Amino acid sequence: MKHVSLGGLKVARIGLGAMGMSAAYTGAGSDDAESVRTIHRAIDLGVTMIDTAEIYGPYTNEELVGRALKGRRNKTVVATKFGFMSHTGRPQLDSTPANIRIAVEGSLRRLGTDYIDLYYQHRVDPETPIEETVGALADLIMEGKIRHIGLSEAGPTTIRRAHAVHPITAVQSEYSLWTRDPEAGVLAVVRELGIGFVPYSPLGHGFLTGQVRSLDDLADDDWRKTSPRFMGDNFQHNLRIADEVQAVASEVDATPAQVAIAWLLAQGDDIVPIPGTKRVARVEENVAADQLTLSAPQLARLDNLTPPAGDHHNEAQMQMLDRS
């Protein structure tokens, strides 16, 4: 697989998101053995970056990733996140230095490693200045506990302020054929500053694969049932998008998932999508997108898909996205 640089961190240009192995989606946590096999297969195929977070589970996803990486740690770039959980008694978002200290020790223990390659602030904490948070993370780099700093769902001004304290290696935000928000400013800023970009949910929470045709396909506790894009008339409207992606996929003898990932890869050499899956067959399918090249007319068609109906998160989650 081709490799790229995320702000100086060399990784394969397709990563693996581990969240759905333990949380949020239908069947999460139902087959840890298959999830471990999926991580192993991803590494065998050349995937280097494995993405997790303490909130996934909570905790169980980091533990799963830690078990899977035994004997394979030197082949991987481990990315995890803090700040969505408070260990100090504060309300949910907590990026204070005291909370970071507790969080990083827990993640190191669960992952079974003595350092984290890429440590993200999961969401911007409006009560803690970003300079204070990044300063605490810079201390962890000096101590060897982490090697690179990342931000998740941070806006342009926050990114600039953070980067002025210590170089930021990567910014992670939702970005896909049907969620184009980073194009409004974040992508320009990270490129100006030499920061890599990591799109999560590059398959639109599975919608762009064309495999979800009815809400009956989802369990009652599936996170997607709280997403406006999966509700009522919005869901029916958005099926057109999946069909349009399928049309391009049929032209290039690929799957819709591969087309969605290939479109992201075509957006630049500083972009590393992290499609999530808990199945070996799906990770094989996703990684094969590395070999798919879309034509200029096909990219143009994908650039102009039917606009989605509904926000990509519910109202409370949208309020946690930093747009400053």
Inter-residue long-range contacts of 60-65, CB under 8 Å, 24+ positions, other chains counted: 60/22, 60/23, 60/29, 61/18, 61/19, 61/21, 61/22, 61/23, 62/107, 62/110, 62/111, 63/110, 64/18, 64/21, 64/22, 64/32, 64/35, 64/36, 65/18, 65/39, 65/111
Cα-based distances in Å from 265 to 215, 239, 269, 293: 30, 23, 7, 9
> Could you list the pLDDT tens digit for every one of the 324 residues in the chain?
999 999 999 999 999 999 999 988 777 778 999 999 999 999 999 999 999 999 999 999 999 999 999 999 999 999 999 999 999 998 789 999 999 999 999 999 999 999 999 999 999 999 999 999 999 999 999 999 999 999 999 999 999 999 999 999 999 999 999 999 999 999 999 999 999 999 999 999 999 999 998 888 888 888 888 889 999 899 999 999 999 999 999 999 999 999 999 999 999 999 999 999 999 999 999 999 999 999 999 999 999 999 998 888 767 777 778 787
Domains of the chain, by residue range, sit at: 3-205+264-294
CB of 186 within 8 A of CB of 271? no
- Which pTM value belongs to this model? 0.95
Give the whole-angstrom CA distance, residue 240 versus residue 286: 22
Give the whole-angstrom CA distance, residue 29 versus residue 35: 9
Tell me which residues are annotated as active site: 56
**3-205+264-294 CATH fold:** TIM Barrel (3.20.20)
